[in-house]
């Protein structure tokens, strides 16, 4: 997953201007950044490192502190690293990315609609009902080191962190761009962040 087209479609629908870029220079002007994440963990990290995106991303996220939203693999990239790969992640949020175990009858990937419940209040989750339904497709899940970085949790054989935040940096495991009105609300919340 990691569908740039769908994310852009939804942003357009809610009236948020966006550009898809493969050029790190263009990223310098961004007021907010969405990392959808395409392919596998190592592939994505390699592309970030080799394309010159890493330096700009670090500057934007850590120094300039513009809001960043990682979606699905994009969220996993925010962690220290993943069992899916060998290359370290961006490490912006103290967390690890772990493989789902396919035992006790659970199918992997975790695919379909599932419930998220708030663990720590966050501006990203404003106006979301206590139990919200979002669409997931993933084989790896994120576990935060410090519970204060977990903002939403979901149960799939175990409780995992379905949304995380540290300051201006946010990640969601589900696909807001594929989650109807609640997904739209979440992206609108992100678009409205100062």
**Long-range pairs, 4-13, Cβ under 8 A, ≥24:** 4/36, 4/38, 6/175, 6/177, 6/178, 7/34, 7/36, 7/71, 7/177, 9/177, 10/176, 10/177, 10/183, 10/184, 10/187, 11/187, 11/191, 13/184
Query: Catalytic site residue 125?
Result: no
Among 177, 188, 189, 190, binds other proteins (CB under 8 A): 177
Stretch that binds other proteins, among 21-29, 58-66, 88-96, 180-188 (CB under 8 A): 180-188
CA 103, CA 18: separation in Å to the nearest integer? Answer: 41
Residues 134-153, mask of contacts with other proteins (x by CB under 8 A): -x-x----------------
Stretch that binds other proteins, among 44-52, 57-65, 84-92, 173-181 (CB under 8 A): 173-181
Q: Any contact of residue 184 with other proteins (CB under 8 A)?
A: yes
- Residues contributing to the site for other proteins (CB under 8 A): 1, 3-6, 9-10, 12-13, 107, 109-114, 135, 137, 155-156, 175, 177-181, 183-184
């Amino acid at each position: 997953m990691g569908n740039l087209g769908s994310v852009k479609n939804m942003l357009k629908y809610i009236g948020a201007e966006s550009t898809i870029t493969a050029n790190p220079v263009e990223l310098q002007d961004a007021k907010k950044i969405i990392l959808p994440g395409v392919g596998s963990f190592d592939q994505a990290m390699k592309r970030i490192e080799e394309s010159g995106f890493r330096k700009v991303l670090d500057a934007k996220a850590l120094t300039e502190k513009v809001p960043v939203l990682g979606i699905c693999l994009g969220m996993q990239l925010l962690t220290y690293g993943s069992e899916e790969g060998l290359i370290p992640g961006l490490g912006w949020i103290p967390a690890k990315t772990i493989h789902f175990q396919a035992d006790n009858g659970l199918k992997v990937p975790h695919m379909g609609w599932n419930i998220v419940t708030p663990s720590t209040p966050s501006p990203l989750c404003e106006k979301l009902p206590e139990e919200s339904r979002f669409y997931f497709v993933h084989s790896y899940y994120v576990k935060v080191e410090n519970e204060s970085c977990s903002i939403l949790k979901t149960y799939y054989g175990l409780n995992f962190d379905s949304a995380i935040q540290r300051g201006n940096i946010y990640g969601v495991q589900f696909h807001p761009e594929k989650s109807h009105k609640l997904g739209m609300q979440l992206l609108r919340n992100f678009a409205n962040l100062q």
